[in-house]
Structure 1
Amino acid sequence: MSKKMKAALALFDRTKSYTVEEAVKVLQNAAKARKFDETFEIAMNLGIDPRHADQMVRGMVELPHGTGAKVRVAVFAKDAKAEEAKKAGADIVGAEDLVEQVLAGNINFDRCIATPDMMGLMGRMARVLGPKGLMPNPKLGTVTMDVAKAIEAAKGGSIEFRANKEGIVQAGVGKASFAEGKLVDNVKAFITAIQRAKPAGARGNYMKKVTLSTTMGPGMKIDLSSVAAETSAGKAA
């Protein structure tokens, strides 16, 4: 264990759980000793079995202060919509030519958007983009005629979440250089989105464990009772 990790662990009690505010303060102070801008990462262990369709947790959430990461966006579109995508700031725009690039293994983007008329072509790439979580999906707003809005959301802090086969959802929710309040806002927005995405088939305890950490730092357990209070208040509002 490195000296920096030992120093970080000395800042809190690993047997206890903390509020989001407390965890952000501790982790941010520890991360300031690093030579790069660490990512704040959240992991949520959910009481679901993703093997059943009615227990899958997947969706999009727009973090109020973005992720702090540069997002490369590819748009599959033609003619006027292709021009619209370029003007809106898409990093890569194409149709059949872009499909061939992807099938050749050239995937130089983090998010993928397509207009509905492109879905016939997109099917050819499902085996390539699907496992990487990049396949456009109408339910997630990434198959749309409003490509400008989708690009703005992708670059502005909209992130996709999806439970893995163990029922865990993970995501980066900001950078250590963010103001403390902005990190807290982002973490709570993500937790609220997961709570609202609770599937109909979920039974019993839905949020089993929530942990907040930084790229090189230790994980801190979040007090589930405080999280439940926050999400309940959000729903009531």
Structure 2
Amino acid sequence: MPHIGKRVRKAREGIDRIKLYPVTEAVKLVRDRATTKFDETVEIAMNLGVDPKHADQMVRGVVNLPNGTGRNLRVAVFARGAKADEATAAGADIVGAEDLVASVQGGTIAFDRCIATPDMMPLVGRLGKVLGPRGLMPNPKVGTVTMDITGAVKASKGGAVEFRVEKAGIVQGSVGKASFPQEKLIENIVAFVDAVAKAKPQGAKGTYIQRVAISSTMGPGVKVDPATLTI
């Protein structure tokens, strides 16, 4: 049986691992237990009634969190000419074309979000094996392949969070920092759940949102009553 440290045992105290908590109570439990020296990230995990092996049950999208993520995301943009200038003016951290492709192929990935203009995709496509597994490949479905470079960069910097269902039917994402006021975290959580709900695929049968839990980086998970997560 694995050893459970004193800090973990203390964090779990007062949490019923079976109970579904109202979101207000769940957020308070998570924030109260985020006691490390750094500002812990609050994560959400949703179990969905889908089988992503089937194309008509894939869940993917992006949500603009109303209160941001609390992270300073580094954004890279693949663009040329006027669009490259637009990206720089919008606040992109890295802008390039062939030179940026070569840099990534050489193992340098100094960014957290990647955007590209449509004309750059034949070039960016060469990086699929590098960027794809990291969830960084630009995709028009989540607004990262676009001619609206200013809008995409500002959305990424301002709190846009991509989500994609994993093999086990789970969607995960960051919804803020433990230091956020409780009401701000709740707004972000509700927005995330709403975006996933709206991304329900046609092939989904039965109960779509089955379980929801939130936790901080080093804290225990707290189950949330989905009925308290509607807008």
User: What TM-score results when the alignment is normalised by the length of structure 2?
Assistant: 0.96
Distance across 2 between alignment mates of 1:126 and 1:15: 41
1:35 maps to what in 2? 37
Alignment of 1:53-92 (within 5 A): 53-92=55-94
Q: Which amino acid aligns with 1:194?
A: V
Whole-angstrom distance in 1 between the partners of 2:171 and 2:30: 20
Match runs of 1:17-32 below 5 Å: 17-31=20-34
Is 2:40 aligned against 1:46? no
CA distance in 2, matches of 1:183, 1:163: 22
Q: Map Cα deviations across residues 165-213 of structure 1 (whole Å, 9 max, x no partner).
A: 1110011110011011100100111011111111000001111111111
Tell me, in whole angstroms, the C-alpha distance in 2 between the residues paired with 1:220 and 1:140.
29
Moved more, 139-148 or 68-77: 139-148
Aligned to 2:9: 6
CA deviation after TM superposition for structure 1 residue 17, in Å:
1.0
Quote the RMSD (CA, aligned, Å).
1.1
- Please show how residues 130-141 of structure 1 align to structure 2 within 5 Å: 130-141=132-143
Separation in 2, partners of 1:223, 1:71: 31
Segments of structure 1 that go 5 or more residues without pairing to the other structure are: none
2:62 counterpart SS class: strand
Q: Secondary structure at the match of 2:123?
A: helix
Partner of 1:146: 148
Normalising by structure 1, we get a TM-score of: 0.93
**Identity fraction in percent:** 61
Work out the CA distance in 2 between the residues paired with 1:223 and 1:129: 35
Instruction: Select which of 206, 209, 219 maps to 2:211.
Output: 209
Q: Work out the CA distance in 2 between the residues paired with 1:193 and 1:100.
A: 35
Number of residue pairs the alignment of both structures matches: 228
Matches of 2:135 and 2:18, distance apart in 1: 35
Listed as ranges, the gaps of 5+ residues in structure 2 are none
How far apart, CA to CA, are the structure 2 residues paired with 1:140 and 1:15? 34
2:125 to 123, 126, 148: 123
Structure 2 counterpart of 1:87, one-letter code: A
Deviations 1:104-149 (A, max 9, x none): 1111111000111111111111121111111111121111111111
Amino acid at match of 1:7: K
